[in-house]
Amino acid sequence: MKASSGAASKKSAGDGNTPIIEMKLYVAGQTPKSLAALSNLNKICKEHLHGRYKLQVIDLVKKPQLAQTDQILAIPTLVRKLPVPIRKIIGDLSDLERVVLVLNFKENGGAK
Amino acid sequence: MATARVQNIDSSRRAPQLEKSRTGISGFDEITRGGLPKGRPSIVCGGPGCGKTMFAVECLVRGATQFGEPGVLMTFEEPAEEMAKNVASLGFDLKDLMARKKLVMDYVHIEPAEIQETGSYDLEGLFVRLQYAVDSVGAKRVVLDTPEAIFSGFSNQGLLRAELRRLFRWLRERGLTTIITAERGEGVLTRHGLEEYVSDCVILLDHRVSEQVSTRRLRIVKYRGSSHGADEYPFLIDEQGFSVLPSSSMRLNHPVSRDRISTGVKDLDEMLEGKGLYRGSTALVSGTAGSGKSSLSAHFANRTCTDGKKCLYIAFEESPAQVVRNMRSIGIDLEAHVKKGLLVLEAWRPTQSGLEMHLLQIHKLIERHKPAVVIIDPITNLMGGDEHEIHAMLMRLIDFLKAQQITAFFTALTSGAHKEIEMTDVGISSLIDTWLFVRDVELNGERNRCIYVLKSRGMAHSNQVREFVMTDEGIRLLPVYVGGGTVLTGSARLNQEAHEMAEALQRKQNIEERRRSMEQRRKAVEAQIAALRADLADEEARANGNVAEEEERERRMTQHALEMANRRKGTSIEKRRGRIAGER
């Protein structure tokens, strides 16, 4: 749940021709919404990305300065940094279908 | 209505006051009697371009620079860079303040196209950012510039409302003096009804155009727990920032002076009890075009500066250079005073802006220069619009001047027909203490000027009509001749003067003549008296001399008889007398 644990959950895949998806999940403390978002995200990644992604979980209570630099307003916010364009999804990610659609996981290797 | 208002203010003055935070915005702290509610959120709302952001930013900057209260500026519509550039024109250096840790800026950028919503969320990120910003400089003031912008970025309006309400509560709990700007909506104060959540203080800014002249106005819609001026106050945004024109004080309690100051025209002073105007009073000279109003103004200005006092001369018809040149022709050197810094000559076109803007500009000039005398030539040029409005605005100006003990000297241009002249100015007559009237008199193919004192409060002024003559040594006010139902001026007056002089000479000669003849008569009578006296004395002397002679003769005869008797051996006189009688 912490940023460090998020970094630990980061995995990389060896497949060179599919781009790696880079994501950041912004939360503020261990609120039910944050926990829900993280668990939903993990579920999606497991199902669609098969490890070809990087995820960083950022707790703004600990690193408030990042809220400004990354323009975070709503919590939780999931930001897909790569591939461009940047996409933001706010909310607890409970609509799994929609998250997959927005993040375009399928095109980026999920359908493989 | 007015009295009720006064009572309100009085009672609130005595009651313990709500703690307030001074904004440092000129005029605003006066009308709110101390500024914004301290530690509470206030809303500033208005249409686009009305100056909401300027107001908020100035409050923040002045808080940081003048009152030692660092601030946070959170913008929702304008990036920090742009904001810094925009307010630089008002002389605010946001970057410098940021470098000195007196200000933090945070631009909350919302890009609806980038954001997708899935499931529930809140705006905790906003709180985190705000908290972080406040902590980083120890901020006491916060400006949220149009947080309503978030309504366009998120779909769940109910949640946003709840979050905003939570935000305002959050600000209040932390005792942050906050200004929230909001766009004005159709028929409501703010588009999203923010005023429902922020009930402490709501300020409405307005930007109106009437007859192609725009006027900015400010109104305090509500201010919980505090009295405040309820009027609409004109305001101005210029290179010195925001300034609000405070309305007239509702009570007529300005200090009154018994000092008198000369008008610079000796003959005019003479008409005003020989002393001139009261200090701090308001004088108006009205008259038709070319009747010498500006010359009178220049005399007054000249005198004020000669006495070493500061004078603000606002000309609406001539440029400063032209005023200086023209007044030199009647022997007044205004330029010397300008160079010494005693005379401030300002001129601008009256059509340049609305009445309020003029008055605000005048206010600012007065505040900057602190003059003893203010001359506005002519004040009628301000009067384009609604009469009631003009009256109210002039009252504000005059009250302001009186409160500061500044003597005001206005000129008013009246148009043509004699009967209407005094009528047109009735609107401002009640505001004026000393009203001089210059009028034309046409007679014998000449146009001459007459001046009289229409009224002058608190002094036994002259009721004479005098002829107003401009010489190269300035203005003279000469007595005029009234006779045969007309007033004689100009050459007719000269004629009359010559005529009277001849008559006077004649009279003088007559008197002299009579005096001379009287003298002669007196001398003649005196001579007669002297002659009679001499006669009398003569007679008296003669009479006295006869008596003495008679007595002498008697004595001598007696003596002679005695001697004879002695010689005749002792015959007594009686015997001898008897014998003589017997012998006969």
| CB atoms A87 and B114 under 8 Å | yes
Residue B194 lies in a domain: yes
Cβ-nearest to A72 among B114, B125, B154: B125
* A60 contacts on B by Cβ (under 8 Å): 124-125, 128
Residue B394 has pLDDT above 60, yes or no: yes
pLDDT digits (tens, 9 = 90+) for B276-323: 889 888 898 888 777 788 888 999 999 999 999 999 999 888 888 988
Q: In this structure, are B376 and B321 located in the same domain?
A: yes
| CB atoms A89 and B108 under 8 Å | no
Q: Where would I find the beta strands (DSSP E) of B305-396? A: 311-315, 343-347, 373-377
Q: In this structure, are B333 and B225 located in the same domain?
A: no
ipTM above 0.85, yes or no: no
Burial B264-299 (b: 16+ CB within 10 A, else e): bbbbbbebbeeebbbbbbbbbbbbbeebbbbbbbbb
Q: In this structure, are B267 and B163 located in the same domain?
A: no
Binned at pLDDT 50, 70 and 90, residue B398 comes out as: confident
Binned at pLDDT 50, 70 and 90, residue B251 comes out as: low
Q: In this structure, are B215 and B282 located in the same domain?
A: no
d(CA B164, CA B197) in angstroms, rounded, equals: 8
CATH of the domain at A65: 3.40.30.10
Name the nearest CA neighbour of B180 among B206, B192, B198.
Answer: B198
| CB atoms A60 and B154 under 8 Å | no
| CB atoms B118 and A93 under 8 Å | yes
For residue B518, give Cα distances in angstroms to B303, B514, B546. 54, 6, 42
In chain B, the percentage of residues whose pLDDT exceeds 90 is 26
Q: How far is B180 from chain A (nearest CA, A)?
A: 18
What was the pLDDT predicted at B117?
86
State the residue for tokens 């975070």: A72
Q: What is the mean pLDDT of chain A?
A: 77
Residue A61 lies in a domain: yes
**pTM (two decimals):** 0.65
Q: In this structure, are B194 and B279 located in the same domain?
A: no
| CB atoms B114 and A93 under 8 Å | no
Chain Cα centroid distance, residue B151: 52
Disruptive mutation site among A33, A61, A73, A89 for chain B (greatest number of B CBs within 10 Å): A73
Across the range B479-484, mean pLDDT stands at 65
| CB atoms B124 and A87 under 8 Å | no
| Three-point CA angle B177, B181, B183, nearest 5° | 160
Tokens of B270: 């003479």
Cβ-nearest to A92 among B106, B114, B120: B120
What was the pLDDT predicted at B213?
67
The last residue of one of the domains, among B244, B277, B303, is B244
Output B228 or B19, whichever has higher pLDDT.
B19
Cβ-nearest to A26 among B108, B119, B125: B125
Between residues 114 and 143 of chain B, which touch chain A (CB distance below 8 Å)? 114-126, 128-129, 131-133
Residue B112 lies in a domain: yes
Q: In this structure, are B175 and B204 located in the same domain?
A: yes
Residue B132 lies in a domain: yes
Q: In this structure, are B300 and B236 located in the same domain?
A: no
pLDDT digits (tens, 9 = 90+) for B502-520: 888 899 999 999 999 999 9
Domain extent at residue A94: 3-105
Residue A19 lies in a domain: yes
Output B494 or B136, whichever has higher pLDDT.
B136
| CB atoms B121 and A33 under 8 Å | yes
What was the pLDDT predicted at B8?
44
Residue B281 lies in a domain: yes
Q: In this structure, are B240 and B266 located in the same domain?
A: no
Q: In this structure, are B223 and B279 located in the same domain?
A: no
* B137 contacts on A by Cβ (under 8 Å): none
Number of domains making up chain A: 1
Residue A111 lies in a domain: no
The last residue of one of the domains, among B210, B244, B278, is B244
| CB atoms A73 and B153 under 8 Å | yes
Name the nearest CA neighbour of B25 among B70, B50, B61, B72.
Answer: B61
Domain extent at residue B451: 260-488
Q: In this structure, are B428 and B280 located in the same domain?
A: yes
Residue B392 has pLDDT above 80, yes or no: no
* B120 contacts on A by Cβ (under 8 Å): 33, 91-92, 94
Residue B36 lies in a domain: yes
* A98 contacts on B by Cβ (under 8 Å): 116, 118
Q: What is the mean pLDDT of chain B?
A: 82
Q: In this structure, are B198 and B320 located in the same domain?
A: no
Q: In this structure, are B227 and B375 located in the same domain?
A: no
The last residue of one of the domains, among B488, B507, B526, is B488
d(CA B578, CA B128) in angstroms, rounded, equals: 177
Number of domains making up chain B: 2
The torsion defined by the Cα of B244, B301, B381 and B246, in degrees rounded to 10, comes to: 20
Side-chain-facing half-sphere of B233: CA atoms under 13 Å: 29
Binned at pLDDT 50, 70 and 90, residue B248 comes out as: low
Disruptive mutation site among B104, B105, B115, B118 for chain A (greatest number of A CBs within 10 Å): B118
CATH of the domain at B25: 3.40.50.300
What was the pLDDT predicted at A8?
39
